[in-house]
Structure 1
Amino acid sequence: MPRWSFRRQLILTLSCILIGGVMYLNSITSNRRARSNDGLRKNSLLDLQRIRKDIDNKDRNYVVYNRVPKCGSMSMTTLCYRLGGANGFKVASPYEDGEKPNKNEEEEANFVEFLHEQSPGYMYIRHQYFIDFTRFGQKQPLYVNMIRDPVSRFESFYYFSRFGNERGGGGASSRMSEIRRQESIDECIQRRRQECIKPYWQVVPYFCGQDPGCMSRSKWAVDKAKQNIKEHYVFVGILEDLDNSLKVLEAILPSYFNDASNIYLNPENERMKHETHTRNKRETSEAARDFLKSETSLKLEYDLYEFVKSELENLKTLVL
């Protein structure tokens, strides 16, 4: 056989072997990918079933939105009242001057009894810390809530306590001097004011609950808050991702939140958002934001915030 024919035959043979090998590897990869996708679909289905079972194990007759201050709660409350009219359930959002979000055991028991005296299809909205209904022999209601980026929430709370909002709520007390009132957050930090060096511990207790330890700026309080969210809340949304948060609520609690996304765009809600907008907010420097995020108790709040973001992303993957 001529040398060139032998070489051509060898090249052809090696090419066939190479092509066959590539096809075989592609086949293995495709099969693995298919099995992996089947596994992901199976896991997603199981997760969705777990969520639905968790909701079914709660008392679906009652929703408790123990709203966190300065997390879009007034706009959400307005939305909930409109949803109550559209979807046929009652909404109550009581307020008393001087009320506190924490309760003693007798007050907790009274609230549990009060809620179960209401006709089914009832949503209760209030600034109050989480109450564990199972401690009083009752099923947990459908707990929902919303939070926001901790530094953004701090900025809103800081200026709200000084200047209030467009509808006249909030504002400085007579005990605050005009110098303090006019200070920016940057100036507050530079002057080592306690309200900026040691921010008010406000978000974590709403999820941690009534235990005195929840008032400590501690990892224990954050971990307890995470545990309660995981075990007792059906939903905690993120204000920075409000559109998807509302869509998730529509998907998992349609009897209460059906058409929430469209109703939220109602002009009445737009008016409420404008009226509850904090006045005279000033830009905070990146240095000040970094300080708040890494050198104060807001660092612990970010731990909780990132946890809630992750939980919301999981829900979005499953139901949207």
Structure 2
Amino acid sequence: MILGTVTQVGRYCAPRSRGSKWCLYLVLSLLLVGVVSYKSGFLHYILVAQVLKRRHYSMQELSDMIPHETNKLLNHSSKSVVRKQERLDVQSQDIISCELIDPKVVFVIRIAKCASTSFVQLLKSLSKDSAYNLYFHPSGAYDWDVRTMTQVADMAKAKHKRFVYARHFYYVDFHRFDLNDFSYVTFVRDPVSRFVSSFLYYHYSSKAHIQSILDPTHKNETLLNCLDQQHEGCAHNLMTRYFCGHHRFCKLGNDAALANAMTNLNKDFAFVGLVEEMQLSFKVLAKTIPNYFGNLMTSEAGMVNKNEHQRQLSEVEIERIEEANAADVKLYKHAQTLLHSKALACGLKH
């Protein structure tokens, strides 16, 4: 169909303006439209073909029209990534089950201010009685290079029994490093609550290493100023960044970052819990990966790193935080739906 459209352009142009730069421009533009629309199923170029059949259009009018249609296609295609992901989300929800898994390696991504320290305390307790080795590193290691990824993959492959690796780090597709028997586990938190907790932690924590990170000139800034400037503890769409990984666009928190984060979540995360529904999350985790976390409910989870300060938010502040963290809001809602679906499949009430 694309070639047919280009042929129509040639038949129209040849008798009238042989060798004209406008004809060349039209052919190249239509080819571009065809390439963009080929896999997306867009039909705008058909409209162009229909217009070409009408002989009373001038070449200038046609040249003005072609870029407009091309731009429409380019803008439309950027939105298709999200629409495709939404279809995948619906499909993934339809096939949710309570299937038990027993991976050789469990990677625990510690997302900042999502109860990760509290969860690690439970992991340490469980590792004493469970048949797995625990590797925990308290510091962050966010932007890994290929060398670091390879080292971690090799470490996991060298273990002869179940292995849990817990650390602050962005998602890595370890399939690329010949590590296939693994799953991801993590917790997410209501984006507004997580953002405020992070702001308070960085600006009011009594811990020396946190105080050393904060620029002294930012100490007394307002929450909204920190939000606007993305100072320490106020990065936008941080949860999306963890799920998205190491691509450059993951830093942007845009549609591409969200789509990639959703894809990774659906593909490699056996479990994503909610801080707001911790007990339900523990039950689902124990049901899903029992050889690692089957005794989870026998442990008492105490919250660690609780903020020393509390803060009431105005409606304006809530709206601003949600707007700036729109990707995280969508990601959290998706994780919430998946957790509830998994709980239902496992016969658990929520």
Instruction: Give the TM-score of the pair, scaled to structure 1.
Output: 0.72
SS at match of 1:64: strand
Does structure 1 residue 48 correspond to structure 2 residue 97?
yes
Q: Are the equivalent residues in 2 in contact too, given 1:63–1:144 (CA < 8 A)?
A: yes
1:46-70 CA deviation, whole Å, 9 max, x = no partner? 7437x44xx36xxx12111011010
1:122 to 121, 139, 163: 163
> What is the Cα deviation at residue 45 of structure 1?
11
SS at match of 1:182: coil
Is there any run of 5+ residues in structure 2 with no aligned partner, and where? Answer: 1-92
CA–CA distance in structure 2, aligned partners of residues 200 and 303 of structure 1:
13
1:282-306 CA deviation, whole Å, 9 max, x = no partner? 2221221112112x1x111101111
SS at match of 1:213: helix
2:130 to 84, 87, 99: 87
Question: Match of 1:175?
Answer: 215
SS at match of 1:217: coil
Q: Tell me which amino acid in the other structure corresponds to 2:313.
A: T
**Which has the bigger relative contact order, CA under 8 A and spacing at least 6?**
1
Instruction: Give the TM-score of the pair, scaled to structure 2.
Output: 0.66
> What is the Cα deviation at residue 134 of structure 1?
1.2
Does structure 1 residue 185 correspond to structure 2 residue 228?
no
CA–CA distance in structure 1, aligned partners of residues 338 and 321 of structure 2:
24
CA–CA distance in structure 1, aligned partners of residues 214 and 269 of structure 2:
39
Question: Match of 1:149?
Answer: 190
Aligned length: 254
> What is the Cα deviation at residue 209 of structure 1?
1.4
> What is the Cα deviation at residue 207 of structure 1?
1.0
Question: Match of 2:279?
Answer: 243
SS at match of 1:220: helix
1:18-57 CA deviation, whole Å, 9 max, x = no partner? xxxxxxxxxxxxxxxxxxxxxxxxxx997437x44xx36x
CA–CA distance in structure 1, aligned partners of residues 96 and 260 of structure 2:
23
1:136-190 CA deviation, whole Å, 9 max, x = no partner? 222041210100001111111111111226x66623646322xx3234425656x
1:101-142 CA deviation, whole Å, 9 max, x = no partner? 121222212211111112312111000111111112220412
> What is the Cα deviation at residue 201 of structure 1?
4.2
SS at match of 2:104: strand
Question: Match of 1:73?
Answer: 116
Q: Are the equivalent residues in 1 in contact too, given 2:141–2:167 (CA < 8 A)?
A: no
The alpha-carbon distance between structure 1 residues 219 and 46, as it changes in their structure 2 partners (threshold 3 A), is closer
2:176 to 131, 135, 141: 135
Does structure 1 residue 209 correspond to structure 2 residue 241?
no
Does structure 1 residue 160 correspond to structure 2 residue 201?
yes
CA–CA distance in structure 2, aligned partners of residues 185 and 67 of structure 1:
24
Question: Match of 1:3?
Answer: none
Question: Match of 1:36?
Answer: none
Does structure 1 residue 308 correspond to structure 2 residue 335?
yes
RMSD in angstroms over aligned alpha carbons?
A: 2.5
Q: Tell me which amino acid in the other structure corresponds to 2:166.
A: I
User: Kindly, what percent of the aligned residue pairs are identical?
Assistant: 22
CA–CA distance in structure 2, aligned partners of residues 61 and 123 of structure 1:
9
CA–CA distance in structure 2, aligned partners of residues 130 and 188 of structure 1:
26
SS at match of 1:92: strand
Q: Tell me which amino acid in the other structure corresponds to 1:291.
A: R
SS at match of 2:97: helix
Q: Are the equivalent residues in 2 in contact too, given 1:186–1:284 (CA < 8 A)?
A: no
